[in-house]
């Protein structure tokens, strides 16, 4: 028993000396990017969003939710279209009308009295789909890192908090200010 206690105390001392802390805060400087040329592909179309600090577990969850949404909503779009979709989700975090987390925004649902059913903010969350294209998901994950960790967004999207695919026309589109069309999505400001 004393041997086990000594071993555990030794492990804690080593972790302490290496600088590990429970719920260690991650900042943008501590997260390496895998694709160093990603920002160059975007050119001058992005700018910093905001500063945010999260513990490692929460950061991983938020990145997964954002990457899943990018993949499902714009996985076949060019990088610019994926960045635009991600920017809208992050813009919603600053709006008091929306949840304050990426996962809260992505999985937000409400009851639609007109339709008499629960409606999802993003239709794919009502019926989650598997991820068949690993390369496209890897790119969606990198876009999520660029938008959420590196705080980049597309200037042309501005403060958009809404978008829809070109093949649908939701009721709110006529009441909102259209900002831009990127790929197969149209972006709006409320």
Return d(Cα 7, Cα 150) in angstroms, integer: 39
Q: What is the mean pLDDT of residues 81-104?
A: 94
Domain 53-155 has CATH 3.40.50.720: no
pLDDT digits (tens, 9 = 90+) for 143-186: 999 999 888 888 889 999 999 999 999 888 999 999 999 999 99
| Angle 184-185-186 from CA coordinates, rounded to 5° | 135
Count H helices, E strands: the chain? 6, 9
pLDDT of residue 26: 33
- pTM (2 decimals)? 0.71
pLDDT of residue 3: 52
């Amino acid at each position: 028993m004393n041997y086990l206690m000594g071993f555990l105390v030794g492990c804690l001392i080593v972790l302490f000396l290496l600088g590990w802390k429970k719920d260690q805060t991650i900042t943008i400087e501590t997260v390496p990017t895998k694709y160093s040329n990603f920002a160059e592909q975007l050119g001058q179309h992005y700018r910093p969003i905001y500063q945010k600090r999260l513990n490692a577990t929460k950061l991983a969850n938020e990145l997964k939710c954002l990457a899943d949404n990018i993949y499902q909503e714009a996985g076949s779009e060019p990088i610019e279209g994926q960045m635009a979709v991600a920017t809208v989700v992050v813009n919603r975090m600053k709006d008091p009308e929306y949840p304050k987390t990426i996962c809260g925004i992505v999985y937000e649902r409400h009851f639609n009295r007109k339709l008499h059913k629960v409606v999802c903010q993003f239709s794919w969350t009502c019926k989650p789909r598997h991820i068949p294209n690993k390369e496209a998901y890897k790119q969606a994950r990198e876009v999520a890192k660029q938008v959420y960790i590196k705080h980049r967004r597309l200037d042309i999207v501005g403060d958009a908090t809404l978008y829809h695919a070109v093949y649908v026309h939701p009721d709110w589109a006529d009441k909102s200010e259209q900002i831009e069309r990127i790929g197969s999505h149209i972006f709006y400001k409320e």
